[in-house]
Amino acid sequence: MAETLSSEHYSPIVIDHFNNPRNAGPMEDADAEAFVTNPVCGDSMRLFLRIDRDCNGDRVAAATFLASGCPATIATSSVATTMVRGRSLDEALTLTRDDFADAVGGLPKSKVHCSVLAAAAVRNAITEWRATHG
């Protein structure tokens, strides 16, 4: 049975990001990417990052995503791309699942795992980029 998208379950921000995801799609010139999945529910997210290096440090210049799953997964993936853009890599790494959940106006307890995907994807992409670029 398909999940119902209603304001009884989700905040207006979740509904907006689900209906109008920001930065959705692959990135041809990504410097880093990460794929994460929740083995229990099957939701998944692929995050693409373009990193700028300059005298002020490494920053996320652009972020896009591909996601499959419930509205909360799509919404937290979307908001994650907007939150990491322009941040230093260290700043982006400090973002937690709670930061992503709060940014979409909160999530039902049964959907908090969706914000975990976003946080894990950010962490994994930056870790992978640092491992290959020092």
Residue of 106, 51, 36 whose CA lies nearest to 76? 106
State the distance between the two ends of the chain, measured CA to CA, in whole angstroms: 47
Please confirm, yes or no, whether 70 is among the known catalytic residues.
no
Q: Which of 114, 117, 122, 126 is catalytic?
A: 114
Conformational region of residue 69, where left means phi above 0, alpha means psi within -120 to 50, and beta covers everything else: left
Q: Which of 5, 13, 24, 41 is catalytic?
A: 41
Do the beta carbons of residue 105 and residue 117 sit within 8 Å?
A: no
Q: Measure the CA angle with vertex 26, ends 33 and 102; round to 5°.
A: 70
Question: Active-site positions?
Answer: 41, 114
